[in-house]
Structure 1
């Protein structure tokens, strides 16, 4: 498994709708609203053997209202 964090910038006024749609998909480990350049941050646990980019593209980026994302890969938890 691979843990990744995806920051999401939403179209103005859609952050709550985007968050609700992500929750309905049940693909996240954690989901937060954030301050700054991005509106939401989602923690995903990508199944072993899955292509990370394709998994995110197929399971997250089809949510209406997402304008831009920034994905951070993780290596080791301390």
Structure 2
């Protein structure tokens, strides 16, 4: 499995709704509330060969209340 993270900026007042919808979709392994430029950070796993950009575009960015995302790819766990 390939791990990656997505930082999510929500529309004002929508963070909890977005987090709940994301959890209900059962596509993220972990969802965190964060401080700073983004409101949430979620960790995802996909099968090797999966187009991560396509996954984020179709599965994450379509959740109502999401204003912006930033995808972070990782290379090695220590």
Please give the TM-score of this superposition, normalised by the length of structure 2: 0.96
Which residues in structure 2 correspond to 1:1-78 (within 5 Å)? 1-78=1-78
Alpha-carbon displacement from aligned partner over 1:3-46 (angstroms, at most 9, x marks no partner)? 11100000000000000000010001100000011000000012
Please give the TM-score of this superposition, normalised by the length of structure 1: 0.96
Between the two proteins, the alignment pairs up a number of residues equal to 78
In the aligned structure 1, how far is the partner of 2:70 from the partner of 2:50? 19
In the aligned structure 1, how far is the partner of 2:23 from the partner of 2:70? 19
Following TM superposition, the consecutive aligned residue runs of length 4 or more in structure 1 with deviations greater than 4 angstroms are: none
Shift in Å at residue 58 of structure 1?
1.2
Where structure 2 has 5 or more consecutive residues not aligned to the other structure, the ranges are none
Where structure 1 has 5 or more consecutive residues not aligned to the other structure, the ranges are none
In the aligned structure 1, how far is the partner of 2:46 from the partner of 2:38? 22
- The alignment yields a C-alpha RMSD, in angstroms, of 0.7
